[in-house]
Amino acid sequence: PGDSVEALDAETLAVRYRLRGHEPGFVSIATSEAAGLIATADASPAASGPRTIRVRLWALDTGEVIDEFIADGRITTSVLAFSRDGMWLAITNEGSVSVYSVAERRPEQTFLVHPFFAVFDVAFTADGSGLITCQSHPMLWDIATGEKRRHFGPFDDICQSVDVSPDGREIVFDLLGDIYVMPIAGGEARVIARGVAWDMQPKYSPDGRQIAFARARGGGDNTWVMNRDGSNPTQVSDED
């Protein structure tokens, strides 16, 4: 149904439950196994007044709604992300990102990444003390102070997605169809996927040994995996 989000069984792909009652349009989703939660964000109902960001928390094992709150900003949210321990929830809104305390349902820190253009993606550092934003370049922010710790780059292209390795030592990100890795402490960026195909949305495997990514080539988007150093790229899905 148009107002619901479906949770599927990983092995059978059968629908386990549906998260119902979302407003029509874009819905953002994030999950945290550590906290046992799913977070969704959509527009608040039109009848409730100005259209703002409505965030709901659901039980990961049952799909039952636990709580909801209105986040700062307008309805243009595009990304949600939990910290690894499930304590923080990042919510993007146009060019800013707010980090919410999951337990207290209140913003702990807000970063203005760009005054005009939207933030495309975010990822927490392994220890949860920092947040990496993806816009014109990846940037590392300190959650406690609100200050920018590090600017990765500069690059000529736009960063559209980012992830942090399980060991917390490096980041992987895409720049207009190419995929790079870079030490989180700073240093040289190294391209690990480049070519005619458009490669994007890289994510580390739980053990950090591989990177999954989407590759657009020949009219279809497919899932691929490669080793952490970029070797042995292998197609997993087969979509036309």
User: Cα separation of 237 and 240, whole Å?
Assistant: 10
> Which has the closest alpha carbon to 37: 80, 93, 98?
80
Distance CA 201, CA 135 (A): 14
- Supply the DSSP symbol for 113: -
CA–CA gap between residue 39 and residue 86 (Å, rounded): 11
Bridge partners, 98 (sequence order): 91, 110
User: Which amino acid is present at 37?
Assistant: L
Please state, in angstroms and rounded to a whole number, the distance separating the CA atoms of residues 90 and 72: 12
Output the pLDDT for position 239.
74
Across 152-181, average pLDDT: 89
Residue 159: per-residue pLDDT: 87
Q: What is the pLDDT of residue 51?
A: 64
Is the pLDDT assigned to residue 176 strictly greater than 70?
Answer: yes
Q: pTM (2 decimals)?
A: 0.89
Cα(239)–Cα(144) distance, integer angstroms: 44
CA–CA dist 235, 240 (Å, integer): 13
What is the percent of the chain where pLDDT is above 70? 91
Kindly report each contact of residues 217-226 with a partner whose C-beta sits within 8 Å and lies 24 or more positions away, as own/partner.
224/199, 226/192, 226/193
- The predicted model gives 8-19 an average pLDDT of 90
**In this structure, what token pair is assigned to residue 202?**
């890289």
Mean pLDDT, rounded, of the chain = 88
The share of the chain scoring above pLDDT 90, in percent, equals 58
Q: What is the mean pLDDT of residues 90-117?
A: 90
Do the Cβ atoms of 187 and 228 come closer than 8 Å? no
Task: Kindly give the pairing relationship between strand 138-142 and strand 130-134.
Answer: antiparallel
Segment 192-236, tens digit of pLDDT? 998 888 899 999 999 999 999 999 876 678 899 999 999 999 999
What is the rounded average pLDDT of the residues 2-13?
84
Given a cut of 60, whether residue 47 has pLDDT beyond it is no
User: What is the DSSP code (8-state) at residue 203?
Assistant: E
Q: Is the pLDDT of residue 155 over 90?
A: no
| Residue 116 buriedness (CB in 10 A; 0-12 / 13-18 / 19+) | exposed
Taking residues 82-93, what's their average pLDDT? Answer: 94
206 or 72, which is more confident: 206
Q: What pLDDT is attached to residue 76? A: 60
